[in-house]
Amino acid sequence: MKCLSCGRWSFKIVCKECTKLFLEPSPSFRILSNGLRVDSFYNYDEIAPFLHTKHTVYGSKVFKILAKKSFLPFAKNFKSHLNIFAIAVDDGVKDGYSHTAILSNELKNESIKPLFGALRAKSSFKYSGKSLEYRKAHPREFECKVPKDSYAILIDDLVTTGSTLVEASQKLKNEGVETLFALTLANANNY
């Protein structure tokens, strides 16, 4: 097959050279309007072409590479005395897989356990390219299946306005779950 990035022949969807060149994390964080800290591994502009593969037949392979370069090293270095659930935001299967489930699965360690299907949106609104006003007018209306009195890390592929993560963390709080922080692949703070 050919490398998705450079077009050279490769045994992987993204060759070793492009993985080293383009997929080394450059972590950042931001604090959302409700005080939730969101740590991101990349700036949106750095990996936009890779993120756009999520609705393609090879998107699951690309997201697995991104997760191994970012979420897996985080999990290896993260220690806590708490038992924490990694909660993928709206991890329903679309296009044959769930990109947020792939990310949360790489967080598995002694302290963190992925909990799948625990926070799903009841609404089907698409937020891509939409304004903050649109997002506020069309909430996700999450259904929560996270055990009460537990701790969570929210997982998503992208933080833009932060409205989805704010709504998700509020839903968890209302259900008696403490959100410690959120992790995303990319921060699109300028969008």
State pLDDT tens for residues 44-98: 999 999 999 988 888 999 999 999 999 999 999 999 999 999 999 988 787 778 9
Cβ-proximal residues to 133 (8 Å cutoff; 6+ apart), any chain: none
Residue 122, domain member (yes or no)? yes
Output the CA–CA distances (angstroms, integers) from residue 96 to 9, 12, 122, 185, in the order listed.
26, 20, 19, 20
Residue 18, domain member (yes or no)? no
Amino acid at 165: L
Output the CA–CA distances (angstroms, integers) from residue 6 to 2, 22, 48, 76, in the order listed.
8, 11, 15, 30
Question: 162 — alpha (psi -120 to 50), left (phi > 0) or beta?
Answer: left
Number of domains in the chain: 1
Q: What is the pLDDT of residues 8-35, one digit of tens each?
A: 999 999 999 999 888 999 999 999 999 9
Residue 10, domain member (yes or no)? no
CATH number of the domain that 118 lies in?
3.40.50
Residue 41, domain member (yes or no)? yes
Residue 176, domain member (yes or no)? yes
Residue 5, domain member (yes or no)? no
Q: What is the pLDDT of residues 110-156, one digit of tens each?
A: 999 999 999 998 877 777 777 778 777 877 888 999 999 999 999 99
The total of other beta-carbon atoms located within 10 Å of residue 68's CB is 14
Answer whether residue 191 shows pLDDT above 50. Answer: no
Q: Which domain holds residue 177?
A: 24-187
